[in-house]
Amino acid sequence: MAGSKQKVFTLLVQIGRKDGDGLPKKASGAALMCFASGVDEAEAVRETVAILKQADTAPLDVTGYGTLAEREAEGHEIDDEERALMQRALDENSVIIAQMTPFFD
C-alpha cells in the first residue's frame, strides 16, 4: 500500500498482576516503556497490547508519547541507546520493551 510508512511510537504501558507475569513477588504491577512500530499510534498500541497479553501480562492502560520527531519537538532528551532501540523496533517491525519499573504498594 503506498504511503503506509511505519513509524516508531513511544508508549508507556501500565500492567497489573497476572499469574506467570514475571514481576517481583511483592510488586502490584509495573510500568513498561515500549517502542512500537505502526502506521499510526493506534496500530502501535493495538500491537503492543496484543504482544503483552501473549507474554502473560495484564495491560491496564497505555499512554502514547508520539514519534521520535514529535518527542524531539517537545524538547525530550533522547539518548543514543533509546534511538538505537527505536531503530530496532522499526527495522524489525516489532515492539521493544526498553524499561520495566515494578510498582510496590
Residue 105's pLDDT is 85
Q: How far is CA 18 from CA 4, 14, 26, 76, 84, in A?
A: 35, 13, 12, 33, 31
Tell me the three cell numbers of residue 101: 519499573
CA dihedral sign, ordered 98, 102, 22, 66: negative
* 61-101 confidence digits (pLDDT tens): 999 999 999 999 999 999 999 999 999 999 999 999 999 99
* 34-45 confidence digits (pLDDT tens): 999 999 999 999
Mean pLDDT over residues 25-32, rounded?
A: 96
